[in-house]
Amino acid sequence: MENNKIENKKSIDFLSDYSWKGKDREQIIQEMELEDYEQKYLDQAMQELVAEGKYTGYHLDRRILLLIDMHEDEDDFDEDDVVYIR
């Protein structure tokens, strides 16, 4: 059940409908249920997206994943940290 709840927070429907505009960091972390490794890049992603005027959960999720991909060493990859959505 817990995995299903997390998957719902990563669904395209949730991410497309979610707006983080006007919300603080802690509220976004709670509502999007961001993992520790995602939280590491939250501030940078928010700052970049504000400049672009993009406030959907989809844009935020994609930017965080892009930053992770750009900055994380492949040796740090842990397949258990990945949530796959069908």
SS3 of residue 19 by DSSP: strand
**Residue 38 structure tokens:** 């995602």
Domain-located, residue 60: yes
Is 50 part of any domain? Answer: yes
pLDDT, tens digit, 9 for 90 and up, residues 4-35: 555 577 899 999 999 999 999 999 999 999 99
Lowest mean pLDDT among 30-34, 43-47, 52-56, 82-86: 82-86
Domains: count for the chain: 1
Residue 3 pLDDT exceeds 60:
no
Instruction: Please determine, for residue 76, whether its predicted confidence score (pLDDT) is greater than 50.
Output: yes
Q: Which residue range is the domain that position 35 belongs to?
A: 2-81
Does residue 30 sit within a domain? yes
Residue 9 in any domain: the answer is yes
* Chain centre distance of CA 7: 12
Instruction: Give me the torsion for CA of 59, 64, 67, 71, rounded to 10°.
Output: -170
Question: Would residue 86 count as lying in a domain?
Answer: no
In a domain, 52, yes or no: yes
Q: For residue 71, what pLDDT is reported? A: 85
List, in sequence order, every residue forming a beta bridge with 56; answer none if it has no partner. 19
Residue 82 phi, psi dihedral angles, 5° rounding: -90, 135
Give the pLDDT confidence score for residue 1 in this predicted structure: 44
Averaged over 40-52, what is the pLDDT? 98
